[in-house]
Amino acid sequence: MTDRCRECGFDPDEWNDQDTVNTLRLAGQLIELWAEPLRRVDPDLVDTLPGASSWSSVDSRSIERASREAVHQLWHHLIDIAGEVSASGAGAPPQVVVV
């Protein structure tokens, strides 16, 4: 039986402890990378997204208590950022396949 999230597709069974810890260790960097196009449009918008401040301060103690649910929450935060990037027009232009 899988606990795959219906919203984002996250499946905790696909993550091991090492992947979980390493992903949370890089959470702040992942958010900055994903939010870079949005920051060019509105530098303050990313900080207003729900949960933004909690990811910028992930430290070694919280990483030691890392859980797959924390990665799942990060996943949703990244999806929120991607949606804002898309809505702002700051993302890559849509690709068109010419046949």
CA gap 76, 57 in Å, rounded: 17
**Within a domain: 1:** no
**Within a domain: 94:** no
Q: 1-53 pLDDT, tens per residue?
A: 568 999 989 999 999 988 988 898 888 888 888 888 888 887 777 677 666 65
Q: What is the pTM of this model?
A: 0.73
Query: Which of 2, 22, 1, 21 is closest to 12 using CA atoms?
Result: 2
CA gap 44, 27 in Å, rounded: 19
Domain that holds residue 29: 12-88
**Within a domain: 79:** yes
Average pLDDT over residues 78-90: 85
Please state the domain count of the chain: 1
Query: Which of 10, 56, 7 is closest to 31 using CA atoms?
Result: 56
**Within a domain: 48:** yes
Which pLDDT value is given to residue 4? 92
**Within a domain: 44:** yes
**Within a domain: 3:** no
